[in-house]
Amino acid sequence: METGYLESVRKQFELYKLLAEKTFSQVPDDKLFWQYNEESNSIATIVKHLAGNMLSRWTDFLNSDGEKEWRQRDAEFENDVTGRNELLAKWNEGWSCLFNALDSITEVDLQREIFIRNQGHTVMEAISRQLAHYPYHVGQIVFIGKMVCNDKWSSLSIPRGNSKEYNADKFSKPKGKQHFTDEFINKK
């Protein structure tokens, strides 16, 4: 069961990473820095925050507190990323840290206690915490992408008005077991 959990978690993280990247590819460079208002974050700022969080949480994941002393969380919300290349470098650095840590976890580790800001979590709880946090922000990235692309937006899931056809296709096939992310990840 635990191995299935780790495989499922990895696939879910991969899906959310892919959804954001498909958004980045649709958004013009200047719109990566667009903010709706002063209280809103741009895509670049959200990426900077996610990367900072990932590096803090997943560096030395099993042995040190997930809120590292070197993390400057407040600075993650300062919109100072200079371009697409820097944004993508930060993005990939955070995800590499996450996937490397995730790949080092074994079934035995899932019930180990780790800490985030001195609050104890099992490894499974800590993973689930991040699996809730990152999609929250990826949803923001996708929403901003839809706003700035407007009628040029290409749906990342079932396009409006296509649910009936999509479901008909699904139900025309034999029942079978597959991870729900496979069809999206395999379409890369």
φ/ψ bin of 161: left (φ > 0), alpha (ψ from -120 to 50), beta (otherwise): left
| pLDDT at residue 187, rounded to an integer | 64
Contact 54, 38 (CB under 8 A): no
CA distances from 47 to 80, 87, 92 (A): 11, 7, 10
| pLDDT at residue 62, rounded to an integer | 96
HSE (side-chain half, CA atoms, 13 Å) at 180: 5
Give CA–CA dist 47/187, Å, rounded.
23
85-137 tens-digit pLDDT:
999 999 999 999 999 999 999 999 999 999 999 999 999 999 999 999 999 99
CATH number, span 2-185: 1.20.120.450
Contact 122, 112 (CB under 8 A): yes
| pLDDT at residue 3, rounded to an integer | 55
| pLDDT at residue 39, rounded to an integer | 94
| pLDDT at residue 79, rounded to an integer | 87
Q: Which residues pair with 121 in a beta bridge?
A: 114
Give CA–CA dist 35/38, Å, rounded.
7
Distance, CA of 87 to chain centre:
14
139-168 tens-digit pLDDT:
999 999 999 999 999 999 988 899 999 899
- pTM tops 0.75: yes
Tokens 């409006």 -> residue: 160
Torsion of CA 12, 15, 21, 22, to 10 degrees: -150
Q: Report residue 178's pLDDT band, with 50, 70 and 90 as the boundaries.
A: confident
11-60 tens-digit pLDDT:
999 999 999 999 999 999 999 999 999 999 999 999 999 999 999 999 99
